[in-house]
Amino acid sequence: MHIVLLGAPGSGKGTQAQRLATGLGMQQLSTGELLRAAVSQRTAVGLAVQAAMEAGSLVPDETVLGMIRERLAADGATTQFILDGFPRTLAQARSLGDLLANLDQALRAVVYLEVDFDSLMKRLTGRRTCSETGQVLNIYYSSQADLDACRERGGELLQRDDDKEDTIRHRLEVYDRQTAPLIEHYRDEGLLRIVDADADVNTVYRRLTEALQG
Ligand code: AMP
């Protein structure tokens, strides 16, 4: 039984998926990370999606579906996945439903991480990734000790190309138009759990695990 984390860019899906994966013995499956890896390795898929990603637009449904299909078919029967950043359109959600049904797999829950617009902007503009540890930090919210720890280990705090202000606004519009309708879709399917994610990482994690128990 897999879990979907749904939420706007900056709502904390990636961070919480990492924590949940460790905490619940599941595996994070992030389309954004798979796509960024494809871009940095300059694979055929990477070269095809690079421009859309840099602009903060969605890549074609078929591209991400191919990635998800491959992982679920290979490991989905034995591994519980936390899908992070997928599905992002109604078409993707419907295809995921068909795919899972064909593989005799199912979703356990879809958790919507709810965060207001101003907090999303601050989280996204402040977000940095440590080049050494891969840890995601925020120049506004992380402790100075955590920020320093990255530099002390020889790392740099890197900003994602799509975390620049104009691109962020576009990504939030794309989210409103194409992804937010999934909230109703999964409510109708009886799978939706809503978590107030406008809080620190530990509090959100506690709320998330509680929401999954109910
Ligand atoms: P994320 O790390 O989830 O914010 O994703 C970064 C970027 O990857 C997005 O802005 C899109 O360009 C692309 N992307 C990730 N997941 C999807 C998806 N499910 N459908 C389409 N594009 C995606």
Atom of ligand 1 nearest to the CA of 13: 3
Q: Among 45, 88, 176, name the best residue to mutate to test ligand 1's pocket (greatest count of ligand atoms within 8 A of Cβ).
A: 88
95 CB neighbour count, 10 Å cutoff? 18
Cα angle 6-10-14, degrees, rounded to a multiple of 5: 60
Catalytic, 19? Answer no
Q: What are the structural domains of the chain?
A: 2-26+78-213 (3.40.50.300)
Return the pLDDT at 143. 93
Q: How far apart are CA 88 and CA 104, in angstroms?
A: 22
- The sign of the dihedral angle between the CA atoms of 212, 21, 149, 156 is negative
Q: Among 28, 40, 59, name the best residue to mutate to test ligand 1's pocket (greatest count of ligand atoms within 8 A of Cβ).
A: 59
Length of the chain: 214
Sorted by sequence, the CB contacts under 8 Å of residue 52 that are 6+ apart come out as 58, 59
From the list 60, 62, 64, the residue with the least C-alpha distance to 52 is 60
List per-residue pLDDT tens for the chain, 214 residues long.
Answer: 899 999 999 999 999 999 999 999 999 999 999 999 999 999 999 999 999 999 999 999 999 999 999 999 999 889 999 999 999 999 999 999 999 999 999 999 999 999 998 899 999 999 999 999 999 899 998 999 999 999 999 999 999 888 888 899 999 999 999 999 999 999 999 999 999 999 999 999 999 999 999 6
Return the pLDDT at 161. 83
Atom of ligand 1 nearest to the CA of 35: 8
Return the pLDDT at 164. 87
Return the pLDDT at 168. 92
Return the pLDDT at 214. 67
Residues 198/202/203/209 CA torsion (nearest 10 deg):
110
Return the pLDDT at 162. 85
Would you say 185 and 85 are in contact if contact means Cβ atoms under 8 Å apart?
no
* 28-48 tens-digit pLDDT: 999 999 999 999 999 999 999
Burial class, 67, CB count within 10 angstroms (exposed 0-12 / middle 13-18 / buried 19+) = middle
From the list 87, 102, 91, 77, the residue with the least C-alpha distance to 27 is 77
Cα(152) to ligand 1 centroid in Å equals 31
Annotated catalytic residue: which of 88, 128, 193, 207? 88
Q: What is the pTM of this model?
A: 0.89
